[in-house]
Amino acid sequence: MAKSKLIQAAAITFAVFLAGCASTSETGSAGEASSTTGTGTVAQDEELTLDTTESTQSVTSEFQALLDQTIVYFDFDKSEIRTEFRTVLNAHAMNLVANPNMSVVLEGHADERGTREYNLALGERRAQAVADYLMLKGAAASQIDTVSYGEERPVALGSTEADYAENRRVEIVYQ
């Protein structure tokens, strides 16, 4: 929730920054453009630009940090997206919307419990859930492919609950 508020704040900051850049001159009472002399207004404008640039850099680094998260984890025998991954998926959706030539493959995985066929179907449901979420947020269906590996590509080879939790995932792979 805090990350989504951060993204919203970043979007508002960026919009304010763009709006501030749109007006570069003041008009006097006769409708003529006038320039401000003295250091007061210029210093304020420079200060605003510096603060906005720092905010934009901070937003960019936060956004990149979200894009660097390319794994979405799932609960046992579930394909519903957990709340904590929505902000990450929102960032990936925004990235796809902003870059229509970009595409992703969503690789669905499951832990070793269950039959091979069941786990392939579960991995597909998980990948499809992520695809549906990205499309709901504006990504085009043509930008998204899904594949299920079921239990065939575990990242954790043990048989503990922690190992199983690492294997219940969808990996977002940019093409």
| Residue pLDDT, tens place only, 120-155 | 999 999 999 999 999 999 999 999 999 999 999 999
Question: What confidence score (pLDDT) does residue 55 get?
Answer: 58
Domain co-membership, 85 together with 169: yes
Question: What confidence score (pLDDT) does residue 3 get?
Answer: 43
Domain-located, residue 32:
no
Question: What confidence score (pLDDT) does residue 51 get?
Answer: 53
The angle that helices 2-22 and 39-68 make with each other, rounded to 10 degrees, is 140
Question: What confidence score (pLDDT) does residue 142 get?
Answer: 98
pTM of the full structure: 0.69
Instruction: Quote the tokens at residue 43.
Output: 């210093």
The C-alpha angle 164, 166, 169, rounded to 5 degrees, equals 105
* pLDDT tens per residue across span 67-112: 999 999 999 999 999 999 999 999 999 999 999 999 999 999 999 9
Domain co-membership, 96 together with 12: no
DSSP state, residue 30: T
Domain-located, residue 164:
yes
* pLDDT tens per residue across span 10-60: 444 434 333 344 434 344 444 444 344 444 444 444 444 545 465 567 668
**CB of 122 closer than 8 Å to CB of 79:** yes
Question: What confidence score (pLDDT) does residue 82 get?
Answer: 98
* pLDDT tens per residue across span 157-168: 999 999 999 999
Domain co-membership, 112 together with 128: yes
Question: What confidence score (pLDDT) does residue 53 get?
Answer: 60
Q: How many domains does the chain have?
A: 2
The amino acid present at 64, given as its one-letter code, is Q
**Range of 14's domain?**
2-22+37-66
Q: Is 7 helix (H, G, I), strand (E, B) or coil?
A: helix
Domain co-membership, 83 together with 134: yes
Domain co-membership, 154 together with 96: yes
Measured distance CA(35)–CA(28) in Å, rounded:
9
Question: What confidence score (pLDDT) does residue 31 get?
Answer: 42
Element housing 170 (H / E): strand 169-174
Domain-located, residue 141:
yes
Considering the chain, what is the average pLDDT of its residues? 80
Domain co-membership, 13 together with 96: no
Domain co-membership, 76 together with 41: no
